[in-house]
A and B are shown apart, each in its own frame.
Chain A
């Protein structure tokens, strides 16, 4: 066993509380917290390399583990399961440190009533990396406490005992964890946890199947949309289809008399219907006449005009050496990316029940704490009186980093004194999404005699990602000066270049944009890596060599080179066109995880077809290699969808389209038949996984198209000119 070197700043400083619970034999709850200042994350120039810690913010004891009488462990996860496999990863970590079989660990979403909720969010590809140290320490702590208690009960020394699959054994005697915990009122809490050696882990590092696999294959009711409460009614909120609408007043006389209507609710900022069924609520909603104050009509071209480098205010986020003075002998290119929708299949939904000064909120959300706070504020309740019970998410992707519809459902429930279920229609999902912002990039560079870049400059403008988000405290953006989300991937990663700078421009849009999986990474990497490829072609240098020679030999640079080399070897990268197929290479660093991809592309019937994508990624220690592969595959396909098909338009003041199909997305037929993933381990702790593979895909495809057709495509979604 290895002593934990970090024990003096980890778990040992926290208070422990162990108490019995209803139907449980022992509960490990932890008071105080591991708070690390979120401002630190925002220090410019480091945003790309910093990994966000797990943060909890409650001073109340938080329940982590419960031991049940059948010797199972219920692990309360502060992180939501939205497909990224966090439940499986944390079960692996806990099972190994507790010395118990994985099937004996049942992971549940922590409700806010147990206090064990992440103060920030489930997002930013931080769940496994952030919980890696604290969760293993807590698990080791619980194992040690159980051993001490067993030693007492069995009248044996601790070093005479071993733990095997949740049972403590010594000198022919044995007790299960449940038997050890039974009847214990006071626990002996060890000073510091002693972690096992990673090489002794049975589950961590192995491709074990997802623990939620069967629930999802047999159709168990695990999602927010499946939540219900006895005596439940259905709500619908009237929303304007026009951008920027402000509610003025509503006439609901017709709607009030419609079948199934229980109550029409008039609030200062919205009007809603509560009815016996969803359909009756929707029908009555459509009969309410609302007066809105709206913006003048807007169209996509107006948005493009606003979203142009040079508008608004600018911040230099990265700088080295001299700026490009003369544009002679330099290449300047412009790139654009459109508005993107989250389009997660489970609509935003919630069941709320407010009665007797208490609120229960069942919801699929990435922000338990924020949701709780907003409901408490609007209903004038103490936060302790608001219990948020999170469910599995039918897709997160950043769409649920603000879930204020919980407030509306709570107000509806309060008005009728019964539980109310409320969810968005698909049209509302598309029109009231908080979109991936459109971007515009101007990139310039010139080559020296060796054919390497002498200067590289990236100027880009993006709609807000984090700036106007409810998740980020309002005082932060002015301190930071740049949007921490929009600048993801906007930095120059070829820091071997002698002169470079990156400049972020901020403009306001008339509709909400926000977090979309990987934030600025998708757009910024598309632009930067397309430009790099064009420069490699100008330099008449192989795209791999051109990149490798301009990456600095610092730790992250070396890891970036390693993934580029790995993907090149695995895909057998070649710049020749073979049987109508060309390869395109691109690479990115996101949240300290480098990723490189090679796309194999051909043109069939004037359409871009992606046959194969090879991914090399270095996320550090792989807790579950299979789920990391799954995230790579998913990001590749979601990325193909975004870069080849997806685009929201603004038409006469309305966001459109409002339904799948017209909002074109990748289907089965558009997914590559081969996705090959190579995982490297360039550091000994787990890093970000769920977003970094979204970086390279856009440029990898565009670079393949360039080599195949000679056309440099500079706008997403990628569209071939008519003559090809």
Chain B
């Protein structure tokens, strides 16, 4: 069957035999976007986190059929070297990654959190950022999340010319 969606701003029509195929496999193996990672296949680690209609979704356990007509953003579409997303910028400033494998999932989870809660407290971060990082970069991530919130606020206040 055919499934259509928008991914990183581009319309795609995918032909799948099994509509229950996890979205992650389509993204990695069919669309060849390797930034979204496979970690556990059971939505337990968050390495495969991406956005579907601006919500964080663990794509290893998200049947592709549910993506029909929706808008997907992966790490490749969040920002790039020329125009990093505030979360990516904050991650660079705080030198967060070690091995780096889980980082796209955390960055996507953080970007989704900031969409909902622009100034998260430590408690908000503890309750919402529940991916697993084996290298133990949580300490720098927390700093980077607060920094990303600042950067987002700065960029939105610039674009809307809001002054205090």
Interface residues of A (CB under 8 A from B): 82-85, 209-210, 212-223, 225-226, 259, 277-279, 342-347, 392-397, 423, 425-426, 626, 630, 633-638, 640-641, 659-661, 665-669, 671-673, 675
Q: Is B1 an interface residue (CB 8 A)?
A: no
Q: Which of A84, A85, A216, A633 has the most CB of B within 10 A?
A: A216
Q: Bound state CA distance, A120 and B23, in angstroms?
A: 40
Say whether B136 contacts A634, CB under 8 Å. Answer: yes
Would A671 and B97 count as touching, CB distance under 8 A? no
A393 contacts B126, CB within 8 Å? Answer: no
B47 at interface by CB-CB < 8 Å: yes
Cα distance, A641 to B21, chains bound together (Å): 33
Residues on B with beta carbons closer than 8 Å to the beta carbon of A392 = 99-100
Contacts of B117 in A (CB 8 A): none
Closest B residue to A344 by CB, please name it: B134
Q: Tell me which residues across on chain B come within 8 A of A223, comparing CB atoms.
A: 37, 100-101
With a cutoff of 8 Å between Cβ atoms, the chain B residues found around residue A215 in the complex are 100
Smallest CB-CB A-B distances: 8 pairs? A219-B35, A637-B136, A394-B101, A216-B100, A83-B99, A83-B98, A219-B75, A221-B34
Determine the main DSSP class of A at the interface with B: loop
Tell me whether A217 and B17 are in contact in the complex, defined as CB-CB below 8 angstroms, given that A633-B139, A634-B135 are known contacts.
no
If A218-B80, A393-B99 touch, does A673 touch B142 (CB 8 Å cutoff)? yes
Count B interface residues, CB 8 Å: 56
Cα–Cα distance between A197 and B42 once the two chains are bound (Å): 54
Contact of B98 among A84, A426, A667, A675 (CB under 8 A): A84
Which of B76, B91, B135, B141 has most A Cβ within 10 Å?
A: B135
| Count of chain A to chain B residue pairs whose CB atoms are closer than 8 Å in the complex | 173
Which of A209, A219, A277, A395 interacts with B34 by CB under 8 Å? A219
CB pair A259 B17 closer than 8 Å = yes
Task: Determine the chain A residues whose CB is within 8 A of the CB of B102 once the complex forms.
Answer: 345, 394
Does B36 interact with chain A (Cβ within 8 Å)?
yes
B14 within 8 A of A: no
User: Footprint of A on B, CB under 8 Å?
Assistant: 17-18, 21, 25, 29, 34-42, 44-45, 47, 74-76, 79-81, 84, 88, 91-92, 95-104, 107, 122, 125-127, 129-142
- With A218-B76, A626-B95, A634-B136 as known contacts, state yes or no: A425 contacts B130, CB within 8 Å: no
Instruction: Determine if A668 and B44 form an interchain contact, defined as CB atoms under 8 angstroms apart.
Output: no
Q: How far is the CA of A397 from the CA of B134 in the complex (A)?
A: 9
Do A668 and B34 have beta carbons less than 8 Å apart?
A: no
Give the residues in chain B near A342, CB-CB below 8 Å: 134
Q: Are A671 and B34 in contact, CB atoms less than 8 angstroms apart? A: no
| CB-based contact A217/B101 at 8 Å | no
From the candidates B21, B25, B134, name the one contacting A345 in the complex (CB within 8 A): B134
B81 & A345 in contact (Cβ 8 Å cutoff): no
- Return the chain A residue nearest B35 by Cβ: A219
**Assembly CA distance A226 to B34 (angstroms):** 6
Contact B45–A660 (Cβ < 8 Å): yes
Given contacts A344-B134, A669-B130, A671-B136, list 16 more A-B pairs with CB under 8 A: A212-B97, A214-B81, A217-B103, A218-B79, A219-B34, A220-B35, A225-B101, A226-B34, A346-B37, A346-B39, A397-B134, A630-B140, A633-B140, A638-B134, A641-B136, A665-B134
- Can you list 20 residue pairs at the A/B interface with Cβ under 8 Å? A85-B98, A210-B95, A217-B84, A219-B35, A222-B100, A279-B18, A345-B37, A345-B39, A345-B134, A346-B101, A397-B134, A426-B41, A426-B42, A633-B136, A634-B136, A638-B136, A660-B44, A667-B126, A667-B132, A673-B122
Give Cα distance in the complex from A675 to B139, angstroms. 8
Which residues does chain B contribute within 8 Å of A344, judged by CB atoms? 99, 101, 134
| Cβ-defined contact, A217 with B42, below 8 A | no
| Chain A contacts for B140, CB-based, 8 A | 630, 633
A residues in contact with B80, CB < 8 Å: 218
Is the CB–CB distance between B92 and A214 below 8 Å? yes
Q: How far is the CA of A394 from the CA of B39 in the complex (A)?
A: 10
A85 to B96, CA, bound (A): 12
How many angstroms between the C-alpha atoms of A667 and B141 in the bound complex? 12
CB of B89, distance to nearest CB on chain A (Å): 9
Task: Assess the B100–A394 pair: CB atoms within 8 A.
Answer: yes
What distance in Å separates the Cβ of A233 from its nearest Cβ neighbour in chain B? 12
* Chain A residue at smallest Cβ distance from B93: A209
Residues of B contacting A666 with CB < 8 Å? 136, 138
A41 to B82, CA, bound (A): 48
Contact of A637 among B21, B101, B139 (CB under 8 A): B139
CA distance A82 to B18 in the complex (A): 36
Q: Which of B17, B95, B127, B133 contacts A630 (CB 8 A)?
A: B95
A672 and B88 contact, CB distance less than 8 A = no
Q: Tell me the smallest distance from the CB of A109 to a CB of chain B, in Å.
A: 14
Contact status B35-A221, CB under 8 Å: yes
Contact between A279 and B21, CB atoms less than 8 A apart:
yes
Instruction: With both chains docked as a complex, state the minimum distance between the C-beta of A625 and any C-beta of chain B, in angstroms.
Output: 12
| A226 nearest in chain B by CB position | B34
What residue in chain A is nearest B87 (Cβ atoms)? A217
A668 touches B107 (CB 8 A): no
CB of A679 to closest CB in B, whole Å = 16
Residues of A within 8 A of B88 (CB): 217-218
**Given the known A-B contacts A345-B47, A426-B42, A667-B132, are A218 and B99 also in contact in the complex, defined by CB atoms under 8 Å?**
no
CB pair A277–B84 under 8 Å, yes or no, is no
The answer to whether A394 and B99 have CB atoms under 8 Å apart is yes
